[in-house]
């Protein structure tokens, strides 16, 4: 298949799964490259955007990660994982007040131990 040939939904799913594997294997930039085409074809789908946000974060591309997490949250304001990812991004970027707000939102939406610990409600 040439690079300019139309890609099928099945190909996009394969690319998404391959991007997951690349991220797990420590190749976040490779994951981003695969996800770009998936997102171009399905711009309203949040799953690939959330995975791309994680890949950007893993590649220390904090501004693109922040933008992707924010976009997911615009569409799904109750997505605890996106709040947690955005909080970690802010934390890594040296923005603790913004991080704390999103850690607390994540914990309020989904009281997972990891989210509760990061939220530091006892402080």
63, two tokens = 């501004």
- pLDDT tens for 3-19 read 544 567 688 899 999 99
Q: Do residues 107 and 115 touch, judged by C-beta distance below 8 A?
A: yes
pLDDT, position 46: 95
- Determine the Cα–Cα distance for residues 97 and 84; give it in Å rounded to an integer: 14
pTM: 0.88
Question: What pLDDT is recorded for position 3?
Answer: 52
Are 35 and 48 within 8 A, CB to CB? yes
Phi, psi of 4 (to 5 degrees): -90, -5
106 contact partners, CB below 8 Å, separation of at least 6: 80, 81, 83, 84, 87, 115, 118, 119
Region 68-96: mean pLDDT is: 97
Instruction: Write out pLDDT tens, residues 29-51.
Output: 999 999 999 999 999 999 999 99
Instruction: Determine the pLDDT at residue 53.
Output: 98
């Amino acid at each position: 298949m040439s690079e300019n040939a139309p890609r099928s939904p099945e190909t996009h799913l394969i690319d998404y799964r391959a991007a997951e594997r690349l991220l797990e294997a420590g190749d976040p930039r490779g994951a981003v490259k695969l996800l770009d085409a998936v997102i171009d074809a399905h711009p309203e789908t949040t799953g690939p955007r959330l995975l791309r946000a994680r890949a950007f974060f893993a590649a220390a591309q904090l501004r693109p990660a922040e933008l992707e997490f924010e976009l997911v949250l615009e569409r799904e304001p109750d997505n605890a994982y996106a709040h947690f990812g955005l909080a970690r991004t802010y934390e890594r970027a040296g923005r603790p007040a913004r991080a704390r707000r999103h850690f607390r939102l994540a914990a309020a939406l989904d009281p997972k131990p990891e989210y509760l610990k990061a939220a530091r409600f006892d402080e």
